[in-house]
Amino acid sequence: MAEMNDRLRRLRLQATMLEAWVSAGWIAPETPEYSETDLARACLIRDLREAMGVNDEGVEVALDLLDQIHGLRRALRRVGDVMHGLPEPARQEVLVILRELDEA
């Protein structure tokens, strides 16, 4: 607990802030301890609110867009993994189709 309090202090976060943001659904820790991802998200929220003056609705929009970007990146990685698993002729065929779509 003391270690977490020290981490929060270094990050300029307060436990009450984190609890409020968990209640708002902005942070969803999977364990009782906050992960590095949770704390990074909390720092982003802090910066949006304090440094940039973004209101609660703006924070919601920013976090939703960020979550969408992360979801798209995961999906793109899965597509890449599938592409690497394809036989070379099939991979080349997909690349030709993608180039044709870009040109359309």
pLDDT, tens digit, 9 for 90 and up, residues 49-90: 999 999 999 999 999 999 999 999 999 999 999 999 999 999
Choose between 4 and 29: higher pLDDT.
29
Domain total of the chain: 2
Determine the structural domain holding residue 39 and report its residue range.
1-54
Give how far Cα 104 sits from Cα of 30, 100, 101, Å.
44, 6, 5
CA 100 to chain centre: 32
Residue 59 inside a domain? The answer is no
11-50 pLDDT, tens digit per residue, is: 999 999 999 999 999 999 999 889 999 999 999 999 999 9
Neighbours of 12 (CB within 10 A): 12
Neighbours of 21 (CB within 10 A): 21
Neighbours of 18 (CB within 10 A): 22
40 vs 60: CA distance, rounded Å: 16
Both 82 and 36 in a single domain?
no
17 vs 9: CA distance, rounded Å: 12
Both 78 and 42 in a single domain?
no
Both 44 and 83 in a single domain?
no
Give how far Cα 29 sits from Cα of 18, 19, 40, 47, 55, Å.
10, 10, 12, 19, 23
